[in-house]
């Protein structure tokens, strides 16, 4: 590929035919972007926060086409050896990124790596064709795609929890002003008729990200200057937050007046109203900020001076297209060969304590089923001989492309606060060898009102290599992910077990009790 790039790398713009067709360039770059969409589609499908991602490629293409109509004159370049080196490095980086994505599709940093490489290669092609003027002209429309890449979990989860707590606090204060007594417990509001949870949908996270995308799109479409774009962006985010806080308040108010069962009737309709309200708010901001004219620089361009620029030569296009095919074939071959050698993965089941006092199954709500999209699941509560209260949840996801994202996106630190519990301690990994099975159990302490909850959570991957602990936050590091790639592990099935016990004073005592319970319950 290097020879192909170098062969076409020193031809100045004037030396290449500007009448050469552009469709081969767009076709090759289209294949590159399809690789990125192919990987991100799982997150866009299973995570409601990023459903808007399906629209972003089309919006980005539209912005690029609008910029194409107003492109400035192409600039002649000197030697393009540096450009050739950049393209070669970026193209070769795609291979390890694709291998890691195949093994760890939930690792969001890989989405940013893939998106960044696609943006960089596209902008390199733009620079190759038209110089710095084209690079500045097309940069935003190309980089706009990154708005659809899921945020890294260490950034997203704290923001989600912050917004949920903020909305909950605002609702409690507003209800008190309206004469409705309300108490905040984590992300749950307790009123006379029951408890109402403020989940992500009501916290503004979903509409916040959608509004962010729309504000960026409109700022580019209307060709606002930097200041106007910042004002539009900040104003749009504030509108989204206010609309969602109003939504949460309305749902809690309905619950206070008509009972908690009335929330389900209004939930989706109010959500749609909030979405439209946010979009209308952004539209009003656009109307207020619109200078009624195009940017001076673009308006002054003489259409007769607009030059098509010269597309990259056939050599580099053929080399890139061939390399993309090699990447996909090589990735599939790597994992297929490894899977043919895999032994049967370790498995285990649970014997439920149905004879315990007060044992009863707890049904999952429709909302929970839609979020988790599990294959099998069961939840139950009971009391032991000392009247200590226990709860256990067992969830299984069959092997598949989305099982990893679904399993790893929901743990106690995310789900329990949504039910009103507050984490008081993260006790870290507590490995347990139970009946010959090594379980990577993570221990937490939560408080729900006056009750202390000792939570023990294990997320188990059905991998062929059971010689080391699998999954949980501590195991999801770079070295373990690279090791999975080396061994050719992908699409592993997931199994999560969560045991909660209360009415025990010390975490050490709770851990000992849970160990004894699991020794009776886990069956290899």
> Residue 261's Cα: distance from chain center in Å?
31
Q: What are phi and psi of 149, to 5 degrees?
A: -80, 125
Instruction: Report whether pLDDT(303) > 50.
Output: no
Top pLDDT among 83 and 314 is at 314
Report the pLDDT value the prediction gives residue 453, as an integer from 0 to 100.
Answer: 94
Instruction: Report whether pLDDT(331) > 90.
Output: yes
pLDDT digits (tens, 9 = 90+) for 365-400: 776 777 777 889 999 999 998 999 999 999 998 877
Report the pLDDT value the prediction gives residue 116, as an integer from 0 to 100.
Answer: 96
Q: Say if residues 215 and 236 touch (Cβ distance below 8 Å).
A: yes
Percent of the chain with pLDDT over 90: 37
| Half-sphere exposure in the Cβ direction for 226 (13 Å, CA) | 0
Average pLDDT for residues 445-454, to the nearest whole number?
89
Average pLDDT for residues 211-219, to the nearest whole number?
94
Per-residue pLDDT band for 249 (boundaries 50, 70, 90) equals confident
Top pLDDT among 392 and 460 is at 392
Report the pLDDT value the prediction gives residue 45, as an integer from 0 to 100.
Answer: 85
Q: Following CA atoms 130, 132, 138, 140 in sequence, which dihedral angle do they give, to the nearest 10 degrees?
A: 170
| Alpha-carbon separation of residue 66 from 40, 297, 310, 393, 505 (angstroms) | 25, 15, 19, 52, 65
pLDDT digits (tens, 9 = 90+) for 403-426: 666 777 678 887 787 667 888 999
Q: Which of 8-12, 141-145, 479-483 is the least confident region? A: 8-12
Instruction: Report whether pLDDT(96) > 90.
Output: yes
Report the pLDDT value the prediction gives residue 238, as an integer from 0 to 100.
Answer: 92
Top pLDDT among 432 and 204 is at 432
Instruction: Report whether pLDDT(505) > 50.
Output: yes
| Alpha-carbon separation of residue 72 from 122, 195, 323 (angstroms) | 18, 60, 31
Instruction: Report whether pLDDT(299) > 50.
Output: no
pLDDT digits (tens, 9 = 90+) for 150-204: 988 778 878 877 888 888 888 888 888 888 888 887 777 888 877 777 664 445 5
Average pLDDT for residues 280-295, to the nearest whole number?
80
Average pLDDT for residues 489-514, to the nearest whole number?
89
CATH architecture for residues 349-523: 3-Layer(aba) Sandwich (3.40)
Task: Report the C-alpha gap between 394 and 458 in whole angstroms.
Answer: 10
Report the pLDDT value the prediction gives residue 9, as an integer from 0 to 100.
Answer: 40
Top pLDDT among 156 and 91 is at 91
Average pLDDT for residues 475-496, to the nearest whole number?
78
Report the pLDDT value the prediction gives residue 115, as an integer from 0 to 100.
Answer: 96
Report the pLDDT value the prediction gives residue 29, as an integer from 0 to 100.
Answer: 92
Q: What is the 3-state secondary structure (H, E, C) of 290-308?
A: CCCCCCHHHHCCCHHHCCC
Report the pLDDT value the prediction gives residue 20, as an integer from 0 to 100.
Answer: 60
Top pLDDT among 109 and 471 is at 109
pLDDT digits (tens, 9 = 90+) for 48-90: 788 899 999 999 999 999 999 888 888 766 556 667 788 889 9
Report the pLDDT value the prediction gives residue 310, as an integer from 0 to 100.
Answer: 61
Report the pLDDT value the prediction gives residue 459, as an integer from 0 to 100.
Answer: 87
Report the pLDDT value the prediction gives residue 16, as an integer from 0 to 100.
Answer: 45
Mean per-residue pLDDT over the chain, rounded:
82
Report the pLDDT value the prediction gives residue 180, as an integer from 0 to 100.
Answer: 86
Q: Domain residues of the chain, as ranges?
A: 2-150+311-339, 153-289, 349-523
Task: Report the C-alpha gap between 93 and 48 in whole angstroms.
Answer: 30
Report the pLDDT value the prediction gives residue 40, as an integer from 0 to 100.
Answer: 92
| Alpha-carbon separation of residue 60 from 63, 76, 149, 421 (angstroms) | 5, 27, 13, 41
33 SS3 class: helix
* DSSP one-letter string for 434-462: ETTEEEEEEEEEEEETTEEEEEEEEEEEE
Instruction: Render the burial of 479-489: b for 16+ CB within 10 Å, e for the rest.
Output: eebeebbebbb
Per-residue pLDDT band for 450 (boundaries 50, 70, 90) equals confident
* DSSP one-letter string for 264-278: HHHHHHHHHHHHHHH
Report the pLDDT value the prediction gives residue 455, as an integer from 0 to 100.
Answer: 96
Report the pLDDT value the prediction gives residue 89, as an integer from 0 to 100.
Answer: 92
Percent of the chain with pLDDT over 70: 83
Q: Give the closest residue to 319 by CA, choosing from 131, 84, 130, 19.
A: 84
pLDDT digits (tens, 9 = 90+) for 119-136: 999 999 888 888 888 999
2-6, 152-156, 309-313 — which one is most confidently predicted on average?
152-156
């Amino acid at each position: 590929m290097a020879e192909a790039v170098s062969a076409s790398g020193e031809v100045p713009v004037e030396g290449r035919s500007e009448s050469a067709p552009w469709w081969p360039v767009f076709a090759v770059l289209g294949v590159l972007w399809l690789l990125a969409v192919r990987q991100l589609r799982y997150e866009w499908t299973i995570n409601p926060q990023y459903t808007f991602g399906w629209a972003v490629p089309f919006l980005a293409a539209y912005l690029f086409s609008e910029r194409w109509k107003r492109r400035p004159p192409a600039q002649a370049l000197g030697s393009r050896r540096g450009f050739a080196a950049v393209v070669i490095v970026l193209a070769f980086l795609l291979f390890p990124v694709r291998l890691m994505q195949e093994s760890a599709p939930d690792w969001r940093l890989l989405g940013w790596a893939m998106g960044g490489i696609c943006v960089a290669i596209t902008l390199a092609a733009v620079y190759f064709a038209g110089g710095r003027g084209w690079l500045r002209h097309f940069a935003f429309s190309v980089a706009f795609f990154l708005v659809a890449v899921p945020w890294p979990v260490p950034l997203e989860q704290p923001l989600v929890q912050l917004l949920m707590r903020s909305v909950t606090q605002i609702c409690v204060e507003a209800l008190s002003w309206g004469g409705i007594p309300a108490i905040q417990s984590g992300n749950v509001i307790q009123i006379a008729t029951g408890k109402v949870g403020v989940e992500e949908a009501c916290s503004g996270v979903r509409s916040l990200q959608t509004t962010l995308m729309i504000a960026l799109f409109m700022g580019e479409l209307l060709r606002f200057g930097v200041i106007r774009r910042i004002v539009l962006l900040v104003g749009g985010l504030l509108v989204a937050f206010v609309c969602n806080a109003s939504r949460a308040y309305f749902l809690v108010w309905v619950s206070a007046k008509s009972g908690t069962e009335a929330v389900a009737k209004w939930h989706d309709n109010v959500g749609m109203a909030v979405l439209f309200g946010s979009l209308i708010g952004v539209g009003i901001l656009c109307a207020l900020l619109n200078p009624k004219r195009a940017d001076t620089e673009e308006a002054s361009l003489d259409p007769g001076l607009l030059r098509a620029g010269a597309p990259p030569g056939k050599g580099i296009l053929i080399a890139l297209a061939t390399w993309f095919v090699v990447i996909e074939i090589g990735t599939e071959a790597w994992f297929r060969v490894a899977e043919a050698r895999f032994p049967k993965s370790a498995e285990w089941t649970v014997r439920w304590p149905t004879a315990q006092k007060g044992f009863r199954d707890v049904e999952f709500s429709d909302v929970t089923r839609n979020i988790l999209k599990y294959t099998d699941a069961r939840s139950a509560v009971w009391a032991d001989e000392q009247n200590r209260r226990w709860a256990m949840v067992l969830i299984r996801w069959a092997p598949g492309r989305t099982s990893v994202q679904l399993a790893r996106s929901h743990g106690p630190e995310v789900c329990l606060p949504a039910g009103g519990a507050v984490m008081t301690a993260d006790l870290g990994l507590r490995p347990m060898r139970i009946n010959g099975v090594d379980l990577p159990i993570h221990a937490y302490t939560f408080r729900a009102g006056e009750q202390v909850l000792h939570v023990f959570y294990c997320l188990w991957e059905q991998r062929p290599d059971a010689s080391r602990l699998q999954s949980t936050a501590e195991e999801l590091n770079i070295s373990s992910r690279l090791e999975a790639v080396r061994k050719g592990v992908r699409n592993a099935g997931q199994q999560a077990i969560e045991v909660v016990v209360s009415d025990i004073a010390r975490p050490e005592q709770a851990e000992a009790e849970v160990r004894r319970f699991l020794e009776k319950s886990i069956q290899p």
